[in-house]
Amino acid sequence: MDNATRLQYLEAMGIDVWLPKADNLLAPNVIAESADNWEVLQAEVAPCTRCNLCNTRTQTVFGSGNKNADWMIVGEAPGQSEDRQGLPFVGKAGQLLTEMLRAIDLDREQVFITNVVKCRPPDNREPKPIEVETCKTYLLRQHALIKPKIILALGHVAALALLNTDEPIAELRGKIHTLNDTPVVVTYHPAHLLRSLLDKHKAWADLKFAMQIIRNHQR
């Protein structure tokens, strides 16, 4: 497939195409990237129609919390409560996440919480790979704006998007991964912990591991 045809397919799928610099002129997308800020990004996410999830959502769920946070918490996708309120992690899984953060002396206002996918998948199904890939650009731009000291990836969908790996959570836990030089710690999604209470002590170990990374970073 020639390059021009490939670019047409990518654009038809709603995937950003990043063009190289030619002569002394920057491509339009590069200009947008260099001028990126929270207002620009939120204005793009709110009416987004890049994938079919726009047809069934109530509203996009951008994220919430401290936009200069040391901690960036990344989940999978909004659920029913999140879709209704426009805020991430406000259902039962969100209540557990709040308690998990309190256990390490953090509150929601101190961290930034978001999801890989900004729209609720129908019936709370797992996001499809094309939906993850299409929305991933927004997540990476959030990361670039926040510049956190650590990312906590909740569940395998977040791990897949951030680390480009399909390894199971058991293989990813307890290790320091990186995204553009930011340490990434992988743990279970709170929704999983509500179903599998025996894994709560593992998640607690992951939180302590992340705290140790932060302490080492501050030395």
Report the candidate in 150, 217, 215, 149 with the shortest Cα–Cα distance to residue 187. 150
- Determine the Cα–Cα distance for residues 144 and 20; give it in Å rounded to an integer: 20
User: Given this model, what pLDDT does residue 218 score?
Assistant: 72
Report the candidate in 9, 115, 121, 116 with the shortest Cα–Cα distance to residue 54. 121
User: Strand, helix or coil at 185?
Assistant: strand
Tokens of 135: 């929305």
User: Given this model, what pLDDT does residue 14 score?
Assistant: 52
Tokens 């990813």 found at: 172
User: Given this model, what pLDDT does residue 79 score?
Assistant: 96
User: Given this model, what pLDDT does residue 66 score?
Assistant: 97
At 82-134, the pLDDT tens digits run 999 999 999 999 999 999 999 999 999 999 999 999 999 999 999 999 999 99
Domains of the chain: 25-218 (3.40.470.10)
Tokens 């390894």 found at: 167
Grade residue 217 by pLDDT with cuts at 50, 70 and 90: confident
Grade residue 31 by pLDDT with cuts at 50, 70 and 90: very low
- Determine the Cα–Cα distance for residues 125 and 38; give it in Å rounded to an integer: 29
At 149-193, the pLDDT tens digits run 999 999 999 999 999 999 999 999 999 999 999 999 999 999 999
**Angstrom distances, CA of residue 60 to CA of 44, 46, 47, 50, 82:** 10, 6, 8, 12, 9
User: Given this model, what pLDDT does residue 192 score?
Assistant: 97
Q: What are phi and psi of 114, to 5 degrees?
A: -150, 180
**Choice among 2-6, 75-79, 146-150 with the minimum mean pLDDT:** 2-6
Grade residue 11 by pLDDT with cuts at 50, 70 and 90: low
Grade residue 56 by pLDDT with cuts at 50, 70 and 90: very high
Tokens 């058991």 found at: 170
User: Strand, helix or coil at 24?
Assistant: coil
